[in-house]
Amino acid sequence: MFATGAFRANNTVSQYLEIQPLTKSAFAPFGEVIGADPTTMRYINGGNTERFHALAAPEAVGEGARVIINLFRGQPRAFPYELGMMERHPFGSQSFSPISGRPFLVVVSEDEGGRPGRPQVFLARGDQGVNYRRNVWHHPLMALGEPSDFLVVDRDGPGNNLEEFFFEDPFIIREPEL
């Protein structure tokens, strides 16, 4: 018998992860939520433009490192989704901002002795992005419903900026209610 929210699949015990709304306070241990925060707004260009200032602080460390901008096209995930791995980037932050205006899932974990702890799942609205701080465990991009484009600010340069961890027992994410 397994605790509520757990089931056996392929001789492993899987646990369901609850999806919570993406908020600045809940996401703060992992990075920043990127969005039109009125507390950061200032007018520029003769008052014709609202600038939402310093919403995230990109990081790129190491000799020869630089900050770059990419376009990622995420394919939608099928649900229930079996979450079996996490990744992190030791030399740079990574931000994802949807330009297709669609919601997406954000999965992060606290570090527990060099490996990810129990993942937390957030539902980001189509007008919210995230910046994962350097070395934060997260799951790769999780588009919902249909292919979605994201503006990604990332680190480029020498060195291995990717560390992956594979869980012995996967976690399960139910289909989010949009």
**What's the predicted TM-score (pTM) here?**
0.90
Q: Residue ranges of the domains in the chain? A: 18-168
Q: How high is the pLDDT of residue 74?
A: 98
State the CB neighbour count (10 A cutoff) for residue 31: 22
Architecture of domain 18-168: Sandwich (2.60)
> What are the per-10-residue average pLDDT scores of the chain (178 residues)?
38 81 98 96 97 96 97 98 98 98 98 97 99 99 98 97 97 96
CA distance 173 to 48: 43
Distance of alpha carbon 119 from alpha carbon 138, whole angstroms: 8
Residue 121 and residue 19: Cα distance in Å, rounded?
5
Per-residue pLDDT at 12: 55
pLDDT at 6: 39
Buried b (16+ CB within 10 A) or exposed e, 82-118: bbeebbbbebbbbbbbbeeebbbbbbbbeeeeeebee
